[in-house]
């Protein structure tokens, strides 16, 4: 396109031409990768990956993984879209890799994850690395367990089976994950086939998670929905001395208790009444404390629970807990309700990190792809903590506010130089951000989450 094209944009005519300058629309990712190299995650990644290439010309496994992480941060949700970044002239320099690899190389890389043992040996140290970055909390941390359904309508990949989803019985995958509520960090992720029940492998998953918790991360409470209310898992939590609040399934016996329960106590929450019983559920080894909740439908829109046909006008919920009498029924209900935020983490993983669309033919390769995408989510949360943005910031906000900033890379006086296209009103804010990222010592210098408004610009 030597001569270019003249294009009419409203009242203005603009020449369209190409340039040989090394331009990138992802130069703003330099903020993240500066943090990334400072915390030395690359070294942890290189130690954990199972690949051992024999050719001296082969791309290092950690370089392939870094290219995948860069693609996820840029918004890619398929391996082909990650590979599209091969043309970017800036990303390889920031990642300190030779190149972003092709789709076929990415596919072969993930095929190297050939089984559960390989994946555990790789990702357990990476989950632990993320947890090691957390500070201790006097109140401890709250661990939320949940499962989600990743729809795959074509249904030909390994592990894709018909399971219950929000839109009915559909081909899907059914991963389980654990989230630390106070920091919104994923502490563990396992993939399961679509027809796996919610509690499948939950005991082994929890044991693996607890084994890698660093000393300063103390569990003060475990929360889960009714799919996890199983004797083996509750007994495990009790044996480890972990307090829990779990939604109890409204079995026929519990419904019978609700119908004959006459000690409902009104609370300060409009329309909410509570009661408390000791209940020995089917297959339980001992009686456990049950908090019964009923809420009028007109006040309880969007609230948890279910309706019972012979008790109209209310939604009912039962919570089984190991918390003692120091926590009254209303307090238990309120502490459980904080678990709703785990849905926001799942939504962020789905819409921001491509979990529903990344999928390989091999089940274990798919687990590796998704685990690395979740690791990318954890790294963004640690990045946000590092720069002091503790309020809710989604990855889409980071992309628009930081990472999609354009830049040119060149050699200036013999040194690689990246020039970011930052408008003048924003440069002071960016300078403060860079000072925070590059400071060799922890500091409390606040960086505002929003740059100053643009104001007016001359054409």
Would the pLDDT of 454 be above 80?
Answer: no
Residue 306: predicted pLDDT: 66
Alpha helices in 290-417 (DSSP H): 329-337, 342-353, 363-387, 395-398
Asked if 433 and 56 count as a contact pair (C-beta separation under 8 A), the reply is no
Place of tokens 């249904």: 155
Q: Residue 161 and residue 278: Cα distance in Å, rounded?
A: 38
Task: Give the mean pLDDT of 163-183.
Answer: 93
Residue 414: predicted pLDDT: 82
Residue 364: predicted pLDDT: 97
CB hemisphere CA count around 347 (13 angstroms): 7
Q: Where are the domains of the chain?
A: 116-353
Q: Residue 22 and residue 91: Cα distance in Å, rounded?
A: 11
Sign of torsion, CA 438 442 446 448? Answer: positive
Residue 244: beta bridge partners? 222
Least confident of 4-13, 184-193, 257-266, 307-316: 307-316
β-pairing, 311-321 vs 244-247, is: antiparallel
Residue 298: predicted pLDDT: 73
| Model confidence, pTM | 0.93
Query: Which pair of tokens denotes residue 285?
Result: 């080894």
Would the pLDDT of 130 be above 50?
Answer: yes
**More confident of the two residues 441 and 231:** 231
Residue 458: predicted pLDDT: 43
Would the pLDDT of 256 be above 90?
Answer: no
- For the stretch 21-71, pLDDT in tens is 899 999 999 999 999 999 999 999 999 999 988 888 899 999 999 999 999
Which residues 6+ apart lie within 8 Å of 398 measured at CB? 32, 380, 384
Encode burial over 201-218: b for 16+ CB neighbours within 10 A, e otherwise. ebeebbeebbebbeeebe
Cβ neighbourhood burial of 246 (10 Å; 0-12, 13-18, 19+): buried
**More confident of the two residues 300 and 427:** 427
β-pairing, 219-224 vs 141-147, is: parallel
Q: Which of 341, 366, 340 is nearest to 354 (CA)?
A: 366
The helix/strand count (H/E) of the chain reads as: 15, 18
Q: Residue 256 and residue 321: Cα distance in Å, rounded?
A: 20
Q: Would you give the DSSP letter of residue 360?
A: -
Alpha helices in 75-230 (DSSP H): 79-83, 91-95, 103-111, 116-132, 202-211
Asked if 107 and 360 count as a contact pair (C-beta separation under 8 A), the reply is yes
Asked if 248 and 166 count as a contact pair (C-beta separation under 8 A), the reply is no
Would the pLDDT of 192 be above 80?
Answer: yes
- The CATH topology of domain 116-353 is Transposase Inhibitor Protein From Tn5; Chain A, domain 1 (3.90.350)
Residue 311: predicted pLDDT: 67
Residue 457: predicted pLDDT: 44
Sort residue 94 into left (φ over 0), alpha (ψ -120 to 50) or beta: alpha
Would the pLDDT of 82 be above 50?
Answer: yes
- For the stretch 300-355, pLDDT in tens is 555 566 676 566 778 889 999 999 989 999 999 999 998 989 999 999 999 999 99
């Amino acid at each position: 396109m030597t001569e270019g094209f003249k294009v009419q944009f409203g009242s203005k005519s603009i020449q369209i031409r190409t340039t040989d300058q090394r331009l990138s629309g992802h130069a703003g990712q330099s903020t993240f990768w500066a943090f990334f190299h400072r915390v030395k995650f690359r070294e942890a990644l290189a130690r954990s990956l199972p690949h051992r290439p024999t050719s001296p010309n082969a791309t290092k496994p950690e370089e392939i993984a870094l290219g995948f992480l860069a693609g996820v941060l840029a918004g890619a949700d398929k391996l082909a879209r990650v590979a599209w970044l091969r043309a970017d002239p800036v990303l390889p320099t920031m990642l300190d890799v030779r190149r972003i690899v092709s789709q076929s190389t990415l596919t072969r890389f993930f095929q190297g994850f050939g089984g559960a043992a390989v994946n555990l040996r790789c990702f357990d140290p990476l989950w632990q690395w993320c947890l090691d970055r957390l500070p201790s909390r006097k109140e401890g941390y709250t661990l939320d367990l949940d499962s989600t359904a990743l729809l795959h309508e074509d249904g030909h990949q390994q592990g894709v089976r018909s399971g219950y989803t929000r839109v009915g019985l559909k081909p899907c995958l059914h991963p389980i994950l654990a989230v630390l509520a106070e920091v919104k960090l994923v502490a563990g992720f396992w993939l399961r086939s679509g027809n796996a029940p919610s509690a499948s492998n939950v005991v082994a998953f929890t044991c693996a998670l607890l084994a890698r918790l660093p000393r300063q991360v103390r569990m003060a409470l475990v929360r889960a929905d009714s799919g996890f209310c199983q004797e083996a898992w509750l007994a495990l939590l009790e044996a480890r001395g972990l307090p829990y609040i779990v939604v109890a399934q409204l079995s026929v016996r519990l419904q019978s208790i609700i119908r004959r329960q006459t000690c409902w106590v009104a609370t300060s929450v409009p329309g909410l009444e509570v009661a408390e019983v000791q209940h020995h559920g089917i297959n339980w080894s001992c009686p456990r404390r049950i908090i019964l909740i009923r809420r009028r439908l007109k006040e309880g829109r969007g609230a948890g629970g279910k309706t019972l046909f012979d008790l109209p006008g209310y939604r009912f919920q039962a919570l089984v807990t190991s918390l003692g009498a120091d926590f009254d029924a209303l307090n238990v209900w309120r502490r459980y309700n904080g678990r709703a935020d785990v849905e926001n983490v799942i939504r962020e993983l789905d819409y921001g990190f491509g979990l529903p669309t990344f999928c390989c033919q091999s089940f274990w390769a798919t687990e590796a792809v998704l685990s690395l995408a979740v690791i990318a989510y954890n790294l963004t949360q640690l990045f946000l903590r590092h720069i002091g943005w503790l309020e809710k910031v989604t990855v889409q906000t980071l992309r628009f506010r930081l990472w999609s900033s354009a830049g040119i890379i060149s050699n200036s006086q013999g040194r690689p130089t990246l020039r970011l296209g930052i408008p003048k009103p924003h440069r002071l804010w960016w300078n403060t951000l860079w000072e925070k990222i590059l400071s060799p010592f922890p500091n409390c210098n606040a960086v505002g989450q929003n740059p100053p408004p643009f104001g007016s610009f001359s054409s």
